[in-house]
């Protein structure tokens, strides 16, 4: 892939909080989803496609498809690296990929609705 077509990767650290674990001291699926959603939201805003940007055009994102592969659930207080990037377009969908490094990978499709 040449530089003109490379899609930017957003990466940020995440620490598993006490309120995000279950009785087994591991992060819950909803907690991991929140970490990923926040990272994606920050990158979308940085790229000009965030909530506020779309709202100006009376549009919003709707999650249409989700494929998740979990290798293991992290423990309380573990620090992870979340990576996310736009996966390109498959009209009418905008694709996005995620990695919780060493823990899970996700691919999904969003529809801009207005």
For the chain, 114 residues long, the average pLDDT of each consecutive 10-residue run is 62 95 96 91 90 88 84 93 90 87 75 70
Query: Which residue ranges form the domains of the chain, and what is each CATH number?
Result: 9-113 (3.10.129.10)
The beta strand positions in 9-78, using DSSP E, are 10-15, 60-70
Q: How many CB atoms lie within 10 A of CB 59?
A: 15
Q: How far apart are CA 35 and CA 74, in angstroms?
A: 13
Buried/exposed code over 73-90 (b: 16+ C-beta within 10 A; e: otherwise): bbebeeebebbbbbbeee
Q: Are 48 and 38 in contact (CB under 8 A)?
A: no
Residue 62 in tokens: 């709707």
Tell me the whole-structure pTM to 2 decimals: 0.80
pLDDT score at 2: 39
- The answer to whether the peptide bond before residue 5 is cis (omega within 30 degrees of 0) is no
């Amino acid at each position: 892939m040449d530089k003109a077509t490379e899609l930017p990767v957003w990466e940020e650290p995440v620490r598993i909080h006490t309120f995000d674990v279950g009785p087994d001291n591991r992060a819950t699926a909803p907690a991991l989803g929140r970490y990923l959603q926040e990272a994606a939201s920050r990158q979308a805003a940085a790229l000009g496609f965030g909530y506020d940007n779309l709202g100006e055009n009376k549009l919003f994102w709707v999650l249409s498809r989700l494929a998740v592969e979990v290798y293991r659930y992290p423990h309380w207080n573990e620090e992870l690296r979340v990576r996310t990037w736009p996966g390109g377009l498959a009209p009418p969908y905008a694709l996005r990929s995620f990695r919780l490094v060493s823990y899970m990978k996700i691919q999904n499709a969003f529809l801009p609705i207005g």
